[in-house]
């Protein structure tokens, strides 16, 4: 059976959609859910692969005239500063590039709004087994260690996973017990 989102999950996700930089404590204050529960739910959604990343959305409309929007876009796409300086003076298509990038920004905002309307209680998240990579059709078997959760289709896959990654799991448990892992 797939993992179903409940009211807590939806509240946390909606809070993150408003501002992905919020701390677990900030989300807790906004939603009325305890901080440890927010952290556990967030980690679970990351572990099952539903939250792939928390990414910024840039507001290029507030950029001054000294650096054009297309140049800033290039900087974030990995070009170095010297390349940007040359393109500021020599690129006559800046307006066209700015329009394309603004459209991309608008697409990001639209996607965010569309996503918000799709996140509701009871939404099913498809899970794949951590070991065999096959789909989990029934209730997932959960293996918890440190502050991680891994999901499997059967107990045999849990055993195989534990055997294959025993050294790594033991090291993570030791670091967690020592308090050096603060996820």
pLDDT at 163 over 70: yes
Residues in the chain: 183
156 pLDDT tier (thresholds 50, 70, 90): very high
State the fold for domain 1-56. Arc Repressor Mutant, subunit A (1.10.10)
The pLDDT of residue 181 is above 70: no
The H or E element containing residue 142 is strand 141-145
- Which segment of 23-27, 135-139, 168-172 scores lowest on mean pLDDT? 135-139
Instruction: Please state the φ and ψ torsions of residue 121, each to the nearest 5 degrees.
Output: -60, 135
Lowest mean pLDDT among 45-54, 55-64, 137-146: 55-64
Res 32 pLDDT > 90: yes
Closest C-alpha to 172, from 150, 149, 145: 145
Rounded to a whole number, what is the distance in angstroms from the first to the last CA of the chain? 28
CB 127 within 8 A of CB 136: yes
Which range has the worst mean pLDDT, 23-27, 68-72, 115-119, 177-181? 68-72
Write out the H or E segment, with its range, that includes residue 129.
none
Cβ 112 vs Cβ 119: under 8 Å:
no
Confidence of residue 8 (pLDDT cuts 50, 70, 90): very high
3-state secondary structure of 82: helix
Residues of the chain with CATH 1.10.10.10: 1-56
Supply the pLDDT for residue 59.
67
pLDDT band for position 106 (cuts 50, 70, 90): low
Q: Tell me the C-alpha distance between 101 and 119, whole Å.
A: 27
> Is pTM beyond 0.85 here?
no
Q: How far apart are CA 66 and CA 45, in angstroms?
A: 41
Q: What are phi and psi of 156, to 5 degrees?
A: -60, -40
- CATH annotation of 127-183: 2.30.170
The Cα 156–Cα 164 span in angstroms is 12
Question: Quick one: the chain helix, strand, coil %, rounded to 5?
Answer: 55, 10, 35
Q: What is the pLDDT of residues 58-91, one digit of tens each?
A: 766 655 544 444 554 554 554 443 333 333 333 4
User: Best-predicted range by mean pLDDT among 41-50, 157-166, 173-182?
Assistant: 157-166
Every domain range in the chain assigned CATH 2.30.170 = 127-183
């Amino acid at each position: 059976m797939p993992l179903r989102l409940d009211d807590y999950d939806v509240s946390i996700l909606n809070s993150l959609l408003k501002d992905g930089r919020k701390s677990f404590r900030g989300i807790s204050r906004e939603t009325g859910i305890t901080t440890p529960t927010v952290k556990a739910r967030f980690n679970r959604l990351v572990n099952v692969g539903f939250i792939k990343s928390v990414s910024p959305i840039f507001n290029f409309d507030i950029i001054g005239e000294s650096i054009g929007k297309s140049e800033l876009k290039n900087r974030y796409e990995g070009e170095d500063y010297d390349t940007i300086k040359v393109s500021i003076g020599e690129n006559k298509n800046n307006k066209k590039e700015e329009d394309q990038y603004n459209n991309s920004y608008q697409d990001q905002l639209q996607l965010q709004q569309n996503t918000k309307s799709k996140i509701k209680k009871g939404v099913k998240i498809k899970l794949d087994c951590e070991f065999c990579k096959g789909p989990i059709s029934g209730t997932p078997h959960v293996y918890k260690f440190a502050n991680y959760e891994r999901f499997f289709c059967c107990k045999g896959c849990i055993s195989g996973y534990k055997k294959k990654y025993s050294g790594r799991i033991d090291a993570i448990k030791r670091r967690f017990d020592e308090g050096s892992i603060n996820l």
